[in-house]
Structure 1
């Protein structure tokens, strides 16, 4: 048996060797009993002599409130109650670890599995809900709805088969109190959520023919309905508006299946341009991509494997230069008298046609040309005396023109050294020019505007190394002469938020809230400004929760309930720390243990915490594997009318290109876009084709309450005196930074505040305006710390924060998460020496026992202490003598 010897302090494995594989991996039919539910139901009718359980007790699986480490134990709940018990030490192998994961239990431990139910598989569902899919079987439908009238307004019909449904209603000014509420109904008008003007304020789940919808409740600044399941019946999304001047702000998205067609996929020969085949006078061709014909979405090449390839689109490239072999130097003739040979120094040179400049390049670029011989015949002049030269010295400069020299002395035909005066009539060359080609130099763009709108900030510019307008790596230029790329700047002082004291709690017992005034103030002028003059993202909260004394608990006589928590003691949710992200990079999941605890930190039934929002047990985590970077757009493909322009898109990590699989495909920038230039001469007209968008209704054009023809015979001026335009408050900016648009409601009312039909159209106030919440925050980071290990693989970390240009910190979600610099990297990954161990030296008569580190292969010579495991150092033992 070939046993590998353990290393780095490891030990041999003992016990039985076991391997596992999945079986019966097909998904169970919908409506069939869940595997964990089946294991619980096997105990139906068994009460285990637990006080209060009936002989015909039914057991149901318990999912929530179970510790992460206990997910593979069989916890079952008594049907109709919240009481639960552990009925087995571990569930049967193959049981899912939970409802929110694909992982399965094996031997009582939760092991990784994919959506294909195979152990150790990494298969995941795509956005269409297909396991291992490539997002090609559906398309995403998105929309925004922000105009409505009083009552229920239909937004969109969500068709059967839709997946990944996500609906958000943003309340005005970010406060929970709002006059707009989301609602769901079927196509027959039967409400499934928030119907008949009755709104649910708390979080709830809705089961619509097997599809689970999560509703956040109306008491949230962002009201949300979402589901990842497949919709089995058509739904109607509506918004209930009970106010007058506050528009709804509904954003929705969902995926719908793509209809199968015979010509669904095709090769597109007009992909992005690939690299030129040569440095000069080469060819390049466009990448052949497989696309979906319905929307030109790029797919995996396997979709088009059976289709014939069209001809590649090619063009000449790098036509502004030529490559040539060039003789840059010759040696002396090998014979001083008569026939001989001399060596030629031949190099590949790049010749710029337009500039007339010649630059040396690597010889491999001229490999397709015949290289001139490096030796040629010559004839010595048969002179009696001549100068003998040493080798040339190094050139004084590597570029930009330098000088090199050599020593000389006079010799005769026999090689004997003579006095220099014997050669004084012969030409003597001891110096010459060298490396006369241009040096790389730094170039810089113009300075940007100050990156802040007020206060102290910075302005920046791009700095790069170039040679003959070709960009080079910064290592080719002198770092000591690099121009600065950042420069401080200062504008007028900024307005800032000022807060007042908190008011009293709204509740006399239990939970309530308290308010305070928040104002935007110019400190220099001591004046209160409009809120738009301060940075909206950093506005302090004007409301917070407060807890007064606990309210007394009154039990209902005759009602059966769980034991009450003693007076004066409250229960609350507690949670542990998040587990590590399930993915080392990219999108993954993390979990934590959530439980209801009493005042003594003991576990209480979850019903005692039901009045409080439950912390999430799972969350999505993302650590960037790479980031997308784009090149410049190419010129427009058309000289008039509509054309296309393309650019290069690369996946970059640590400034190095990587395979595109290491970047998030859902945020990949487009490589092609339409471009509009001057209109072509009119010959015919293209009529627009209706786009496939969800049905939006009603539109903005509502029927008038009073038709104009009703007043034709009244002899009354349509501009009735007293009617005027009234405006609602401006809505939130569509972008939290870098500019956006905000809307408001404008209505025509009479002098009594009632809705009127006629106001002066020329004086109507604008319904939308541009808004600017200040510059966007960016990632900033500190220096790397020391590595945690000296060998064998360690990590080092640094501080990475989301920060505004003025130095103010922001929450991480306000920065682009895909562009976040890494905060932890590996270091010292080289292996530690295999045969290193501690050896005990002889006892000394002074302070005792000293541990020394030896490398056995070096005949027990003392070795550097860093290669021995610091955790097994023999401690010094001090011995004192009288």
Structure 2
């Protein structure tokens, strides 16, 4: 059994040093007496002088400090004093301090575990056990409780652990004489100094940064797992919470390049690359905690296990591994007669223990480069000088070296953000005003001017499309138009936009109102109003801006717009709008009175913009602003239905029918795609048009022709104006 022998108030306590573990049956009475006798024969000269407080009391001076209870990992040492009166002295006769505050080698193991294993060769209730430590007992953390391996047997093998044993695994507090004593991060008893989140004792948290975030899984048929977050070496206070059906696992890589993996298959505490990990697994969530500091780079990954999405919230403190380190003073600028020398700062990689480029330290906003220090040096007069050489102030007679720069280069981009650079050098000016380059360290007492800066960070010109005009028809299919301008970041119409990205200025439109039905009451097919048709309908030809006529139906036909009335600024355009009808037999167009066409008449005047006038500020009225800055909406879908020409005509003469071919197109590449990629509910309706309208060889006399023509003109008087609509489909 491990023992700790205590004497009375005058005798104090006797310490058993680390690993001095004695079995009960081998302990003799003369052994204890030797310990006590050795302590009583203390050399009086080793005692310290009595303090003023001791002189006013009945205590003798404190004795010397004992040997440390541990050789590493933090132990305790004690000092005793005697009461010089036969009466009771107020206060304690023993005091403690920490010692051996150096980390133990990894192979040394846990101190509490060593004390439990010392009982492995001692029978308990007639049987040998392999004892494991029971830590973090909230009721009595300083008793030696051990558990038999492979059994539920927990026994208190000693009422007290050896001095210097940690009270709790995650604390520096230590047990002394069976009581838990507070120990600060400065390893001093009774100290309340704590480590900051970066692991720095009494630090201000400036050596690390808080990282927090959230990951949401995105299921994919081709991916079985995904990376959640990479946590670098040295990070602390790591916590991740996964909610969902998926599972977490770890990949590690040490500084030596050794890789590892842990599947985290069950709840428990694990050691992964010398880092202690606590993992909890529940049916609907998983929790991962690592106190740190991490001894390797950890990559937390997620393995997909279900159809539902999962989310992971994480938080940890990441060390700032690149920090500024002040250098020693550089050599003096003069060997005699007075000179100056400076310190500098270099960026130091804490992981590789080497100096790296300054840009690594500039990455962290928390890193503030220390200002160089300047001092005079070699003030002794030079041997060749006559007497003492007075050192004059540098700013009056010998200016300090300074930074000088060349002009900025042209910007690498005309818009959208570019960079420009310049060279910066350290120069020195002598008394005669001659300037010469010198080593950069001489100018490090001031901040070096930047050598690169951003430029032209304003947005590049963009196409701006105004609102679409009304559809040119009141029923069926027509056209609509808009103005598209190239506008720069100041809102001025300019050039510079790519013609490849210019939005189209016209497109077909569908008015859902059914067009006039003839007396036969046959069904009329019209396109749905939401369908956007910009593809040319005429096979092998561009869609004409002129709306087409149907045989026997009158409609408004607008002519081309005139030129803009002004050469700059906002003007107007006009056009002529006619009411016309197509005659079937003569295949000619006839003008009708305006009141013969029903529905709204297309506008015959509109505003136009010819660019800003030179030398004038561009100012617009509200009406002009609406004209120039209309809003437009683009389709988000990559695939959509479009018409791609027509089938061959069903008849060679006398009038036939062609059916529009509907295909699923990739809107970016304009390539035909599989129909399953397009939304079936958005497939446009069947569209027919007349064809082969030339009459077949005549089979009737002239009087029959005149009779039919008279009949047609009689029909026109009763016909309502119909703008372009799909051909009537006959069953």
Report the structure number with the largest CA radius of gyration.
2
- TM-score normalised by the chain length of structure 1: 0.28
Normalised to the residue count of structure 2, the TM-score between the two structures is: 0.34
